[in-house]
Amino acid sequence: MHETEQRPLAHLSDAEVRAQLEAHGRHPGQSRAAQSDALADMFERAARALPFFEHQVGNGNPADAAYHRVAQPAASRTVIDLSTFVAEGVVNNAIYGVADRPAGTATPLVARDVIREYSVAAKLGASILVAHPRDRAVPVQAGDKGSGLMGFYEDPSLLRNVHPAGFALTADGSSAASSASPWSETTFSWPACPTYSFSTKLTRAQSRNPGYGEEFRRDLVTAVLFGLGELADQLLFAAINAATPPTWSAGAAASKHLRKADLSAAIGTGGFGASFLADGQLVAGGGIPAEYSAQTAPTLVGAFGTAAVALWPELTIIAERLNTTGDLNVVCFANMQAVLGDSSKFWSIAA
Rounded Cα distance between 288 and 3, Å, is: 73
Nearest to 120 by CA among 265, 311, 270: 265
CA angle 338, 313, 98 (to 5 degrees): 90
- Residue 231: is its pLDDT beyond 70? yes
Rounded Cα distance between 43 and 212, Å, is: 12
Rounded Cα distance between 229 and 153, Å, is: 28
For the chain, the average pLDDT equals 75
- Residue 221: is its pLDDT beyond 80? no
- Residue 286: is its pLDDT beyond 70? yes
Q: Are 218 and 197 in contact (CB under 8 A)?
A: no
Rounded Cα distance between 166 and 209, Å, is: 67
Q: Are 21 and 15 in contact (CB under 8 A)?
A: no
Q: Give the pLDDT score at 130.
A: 80
Rounded Cα distance between 299 and 122, Å, is: 16
Q: Which residues pair with 162 in a beta bridge?
A: 183
- Residue 185: is its pLDDT beyond 50? yes
- Residue 23: is its pLDDT beyond 90? no
Q: How many CA atoms lie within 13 A of 230 on its CB side?
A: 11
Q: Give the pLDDT score at 234.
A: 96
Q: Give the pLDDT score at 331.
A: 85
Q: Are 299 and 275 in contact (CB under 8 A)?
A: no
Q: How confident is the model at residue 73 (pLDDT cuts 50, 70, 90)?
A: low
Q: How confident is the model at residue 150 (pLDDT cuts 50, 70, 90)?
A: low
Rg value, the chain, Cα: 28
Percent over 90 (pLDDT), the chain? 28
DSSP 8-state symbol, 79: E
For helices 214-242 and 38-48, angle between their N-to-C axes, nearest 10 degrees: 100
DSSP 8-state symbol, 306: G
Torsion of CA 169, 172, 175, 180, to 10 degrees: 10
Q: How confident is the model at residue 282 (pLDDT cuts 50, 70, 90)?
A: very high
Q: Give the pLDDT score at 238.
A: 96
Under 8 Å CB-to-CB from 174, ≥6 apart: which residues? none
Between 300 and 32, where is the model more confident?
A: 300
The length of the chain is 351
Give the β-pairing of 66-71 and 52-57: antiparallel
Q: Give the pLDDT score at 77.
A: 63
- Residue 96: is its pLDDT beyond 70? no
Under 8 Å CB-to-CB from 271, ≥6 apart: which residues? 299
Under 8 Å CB-to-CB from 209, ≥6 apart: which residues? none
Q: Give the pLDDT score at 270.
A: 95
- Residue 25: is its pLDDT beyond 70? no
